[in-house]
Amino acid sequence: MIETIKINSIFSPTNGFFTSLYTDAYDDYVELFDDIEPTILDTYFYNEYGERYITPLVRNTQPNMWLLTHIIYSMYVAKWLKIKSALDARYDVSKPYDMHRTYQSDRDYTSDSESTRDSVNKVYGFNDSVDGHNDDSNETSSTRNVTNTDSTARSESRYGVNGNVLMPNLIMAELSLREYRLLDMVINDIKNECCLSIYG
């Protein structure tokens, strides 16, 4: 029979998920939890779930707390970061409709023209029956290339309230969103991975 082990026999306020992540992957910790002291979070988890029984995942990764932390972090980090980004977004709740467009138009016009003119003047002697040898020849050639570029840029911004959404509904949705905390979700995910649903 497998011995039942409780969370508080493995986790402690100074040896838990948050302290392990802070110690071994500091940048990852700060990206998610900013400057919150990790022992505060581990103390909360220890006091809240210390009497729960551990899952096979915890049993099979001990005594390597970093291995357990790395597994859980890898499973949930994408989800946690997306939620954090959404909660940290800055916007005006009264103007949920926000659109920006930029138009760029470039057109090139090229015209080529070329003209050539030849003229030959012949001089005859008084008794000459054939053309003389005194030629006055002129040849004129001209070429013109013209290139024009027309570039147009225009930006357009629209913002405001969609007519189908009432302002009170927008405000209530905003308040509901702000009640949702990233830490609550993270701790709940760790609990689901580390604690059995039954406890004594």
Write the DSSP assignment of 84-137 as a string of letters.
HHHHH----TT--EEEEEEEEEEEEEEEEEEEEEEEEEEE--TT-SS--SEEEE
What are the domain boundaries of the chain?
7-90+180-199, 102-154
Residue 59 per-residue DSSP state:
H
Q: Which residues contact 50 (CB under 8 A, 6 or more apart)?
A: 6, 7, 8, 11
Structure tokens at 198: 């039954």
The pLDDT of residue 112: 59
Confidence bin at 197 (pLDDT 50/70/90): confident
The pLDDT of residue 182: 86
The pLDDT of residue 12: 93
* Residue 93 confidence (pLDDT) above 60: no
The pLDDT of residue 199: 54
Read off the pLDDT of each residue in 88-116 and give the average, rounded to a whole number. Answer: 62
- Cα gap 20→134, rounded to integer Å: 105
The pLDDT of residue 74: 96
Structure tokens at 151: 């570039």
Give the pTM: 0.58
Read off the pLDDT of each residue in 10-20 and give the average, rounded to a whole number. Answer: 95
pLDDT tens-place string over residues 113-168: 555 555 555 555 556 555 555 555 555 555 666 666 666 667 666 555 555 666 66
Confidence bin at 86 (pLDDT 50/70/90): confident
pLDDT tens-place string over residues 20-56: 999 999 999 999 999 999 999 999 999 999 999 999 9
What is the SS3 assignment for 25? Answer: coil
Q: What angle do CA 117, 118, 119 make, to 5 degrees?
A: 125
Q: Round the average pLDDT of the chain to a whole number and report it.
A: 77
